[in-house]
Structure 1
Amino acid sequence: MEDAMTQNPATEDPKLDATEATEQAAATGPEAEIARLEAERDDLKDKLLRTLAEMENLRRRTEREVADAKAYATTSFARDMLGSADNLRRALESLPDAAQADPSAKPFQEGVELTERELIKTLERHGVRKIDPQGEKFDPNLHQAMFEAPDATIGKGLVSKVVQVGYKIGERVLRPALVGVSAGAPKASDGQAGNGTTSH
């Protein structure tokens, strides 16, 4: 009895090992190997496509950043130069009428005007453009309203007076134009001249 019991495990083990080996061989047959390789290929292809897409996005972002750096590299310098442009304009506007009519003051006036024009052209060459919105629709992205007042000569919501011109560099505002906005034609007062009066 004991001999039979000791022999049973020994006789069962080889059968179990053979069955497992057969199952493993079936599992690792050609079809299973092909399926595994195809899954691995698809995974690698997906990773490659994702990497290529990320690289393309990085390239575009880098190009955009380089273009922005070139376009806006002079922003600080251009902003500092606006004060000089303002001072030249103030110098011209401060000339009294008598001085403007004086022939001896003419060369001075022309010299300041020439300097102002040259400065504006230089700024324009570097992408800086003047914002002079007289008569245009008020745009809070480009203009800063200093006041609103009735004006019969221009429609409501339009720029009636430019207090100080603004400037843009590329698509960015360096300085908004300071403006007065028309509130439209003044309303007629209730007590107009002649109303409620009698003539003798």
Structure 2
Amino acid sequence: MASDPTAGGAPADMPVETPDSTLDIPAKPESAADWQRLVEQLQAEKADLQDKQLRALAEAQNVRRRAQQDVEKERKFGIERFARDVLSVADNLGRALSALPADLESVDPTVRNVVTGVQATERELLSVLERHGVTRIEALGKPFNAEFHQAMMEIEDPTVPSGTVVQELVPGYLIAGRLLRAAMVGVSKGGPRATPQANNEN
């Protein structure tokens, strides 16, 4: 009679347990030199992990800083296109006011009231723009600066230094200190040269 292979023991289909070869468990040190090597290995792994942690923290800090810079930039310059469009409204108000006669006393009182309203509207518009970081470039009487001014014409005027802005055709504006629109100006010629120091002024 054949003996039953499963009799008195484990069933035939039960897997035999073998050591897990995926675990990286170092062998138990047997000598002082082995212990020393194990300590050095663990210290090297610790230093490597610390270095990786510091790099990850630095990268996370850089990402956070870049995100903050992007938010700040968007806050400052996000309205740039809108502000540039609004400038045409300010230009039209300015043109309307510059077309008025110098002496408003001779004008009908009703027209004077309209003029006063337009002046108040222009002041309010410029105030709103300024509250949002849009400021007007002071150009008249300043030395020409290609960074902020666009020369449209030269005007013969020997009484002022050559290269001085003597006429402002269209005002220029900055947004948060950055150029939004250059001032279109007339520049003097024929006078003495402006000093290099004056040329650095905005």
TM range (shorter): 0.7 to 0.9
How far is 1:184 from its partner? 4.1
Say if 2:81 is the partner of 1:82: no
2-structure distance, mates of 1:66, 1:161: 39
2-structure distance, mates of 1:112, 1:40: 75
Aligned twin of 2:136: 130
Aligned match for 1:67, one of 67, 72, 83: 72
Aligned twin of 1:195: none
SS of 2:140 mapped into structure 1: coil
**Higher gyration radius (CA):** 1
Where do residues 1-200 of structure 1 align in structure 2 (5 Å cutoff)?
29-97=34-102, 101-104=106-109, 105-185=111-191
SS of 2:141 mapped into structure 1: coil
1-structure distance, mates of 2:69, 2:52: 26
> More helix by proportion, 1 or 2?
1
SS of 2:173 mapped into structure 1: strand
How far is 1:28 from its partner? 7.1
SS of 1:84 mapped into structure 2: helix
1-structure distance, mates of 2:161, 2:32: 85
* Structure 1 stretches lacking a partner, 5+ long: 1-23, 187-200
1-structure distance, mates of 2:53, 2:190: 64
* Superposed structure 1 runs of 4+ greater than 6 Å apart: none
- TM-score normalised per structure 1: 0.73
How far is 1:107 from its partner? 1.1
* Structure 2 stretches lacking a partner, 5+ long: 1-28, 193-202
CA contact (8 A) 1:132 1:162 kept: no
How far is 1:137 from its partner? 2.2
**Relative to structure 1, is the Cα distance of residues 163 and 27 closer, same or farther in structure 2, using a 3 angstrom cutoff?**
farther
How many residues are paired up? 163
SS of 2:157 mapped into structure 1: coil
CA contact (8 A) 1:167 1:174 kept: yes
How far is 1:165 from its partner? 0.3
Deviations along 1:17-40, one digit per CA (max 9) or x if unpaired, are xxxxxxx96697011111111111
**Greater shift in the superposed pair: 79-88 or 138-147:** 138-147
Residue 106 of structure 2 aligns to which amino acid in structure 1?
A: A
CA contact (8 A) 1:131 1:165 kept: yes
Deviations along 1:71-124, one digit per CA (max 9) or x if unpaired, are 122111111111110111111111245766314231121111111101111111
Aligned twin of 2:12: none
Pairwise CA RMSD: 2.2
**Greater shift in the superposed pair: 92-101 or 45-54:** 92-101
- TM-score normalised per structure 2: 0.73
